[in-house]
């Protein structure tokens, strides 16, 4: 069974992501995957279309295959990304069946294609593990898998900016329960921390700009009054992006 998702690109046109899986994707998983892809396309709108196509291809493969901790499609899922409209009309062919598109070249109407057997590097952390979805010059995309009882300690970044999307229910962020679909853009120097009080692994989609710098993960004491930054939004299937005013803690 096949599910198709469309992502608008800054240059005009769209990148169309198609997932074909023997068992199909559950309707709720389709709806949330569309929301996750929209968040990525918005966050990475400055990325050239060829690189964005690769990023969406890699993320979708990670999201639907068990090897990266995803769910819904299984190892036999096939993911394709096709450029439609202005993106494809003005670019040379780059899609090669079975391979990711070459870096630095724009995708065309020919789809880029990947199967569920893709490899994803995984780093084990005290809080759980990190799936490295995709990295390119100036940007990295990661899935933070926070184990039951796990905590990402209070930390700041001096170099990186981060945009994160909560992919499950039950996480505590800044010590407060937050809903699935909460998106936060962390400016440099803003302390933040996650804790998973649930009995299940909880996941956060993280975009680092530039790509993750280990030395820039600087642990700090917990602030006396934990605060959220100015840009906190909620992304839900079928609904416009909305501000999350409950996050403000003045």
pLDDT of residue 224: 93
Measured in whole angstroms, how far is the alpha carbon of residue 20 from the centre of its chain?
A: 20
List residues bridging with 7 in a β-sheet.
Answer: 15
pTM of the model: 0.85
pLDDT of residue 117: 59
Alpha carbons within 13 angstroms on the beta-carbon side of residue 214 total 3
- Quickly name the fold that domain 121-247 has: Jelly Rolls (2.60.120)
Give the residues of the chain that fall short of pLDDT 50.
67-69, 71-73, 88-111, 248-250
Please report, for the chain, the start and end positions of each structural domain, with discontinuous segments joined by +: 2-115, 121-247
In degrees and rounded to multiples of 5, residue 248 shows phi and psi of -70, 135
Number of Cβ within 10 Å of residue 73's Cβ equals 27
Q: Which of 134, 140, 132 is nearest to 211 (CA)?
A: 140
pLDDT of residue 9: 81
Cα–Cα distance between 140 and 135 in angstroms, integer? 4
pLDDT of residue 90: 32
Q: Which of 165, 1, 25, 7 is nearest to 81 (CA)?
A: 7
């Amino acid at each position: 069974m096949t599910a198709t998702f469309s992502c608008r690109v800054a240059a005009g046109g769209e990148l169309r992501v198609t997932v074909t899986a023997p068992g199909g994707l559950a309707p709720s998983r389709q709806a949330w995957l569309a929301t996750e892809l929209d968040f990525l396309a918005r966050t990475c709108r400055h990325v050239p279309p060829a690189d964005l196509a690769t990023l969406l291809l890699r993320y979708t493969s990670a999201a639907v295959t068990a090897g990266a901790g995803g769910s819904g499609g299984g190892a036999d899922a096939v993911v394709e990304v096709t450029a439609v409209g202005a993106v494809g009309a003005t670019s040379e062919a780059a899609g090669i069946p079975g391979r990711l598109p070459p870096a630095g070249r724009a995708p065309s109407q020919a789809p880029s294609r990947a199967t569920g057997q893709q490899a994803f590097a995984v780093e084990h952390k005290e809080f759980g593990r990190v799936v490295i979805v995709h990295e390119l010059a100036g940007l990295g995309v990661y899935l933070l898998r926070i184990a039951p009882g796990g905590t990402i300690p209070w930390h700041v970044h001096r170099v990186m900016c981060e945009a994160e999307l909560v992919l499950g229910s039950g996480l505590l962020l800044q010590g407060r329960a937050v809903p699935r679909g909460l998106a936060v853009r962390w400016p440099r120097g803003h302390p933040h921390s996650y804790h998973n009080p649930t009995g299940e692994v909880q996941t956060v989609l993280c975009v680092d700009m530039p790509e993750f710098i280990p030395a820039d993960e600087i642990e700090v004491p917990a602030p006396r009054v934990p605060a959220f930054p100015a840009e906190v939004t909620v992304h839900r299937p079928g609904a416009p992006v909305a501000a999350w005013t409950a996050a403000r803690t003045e």
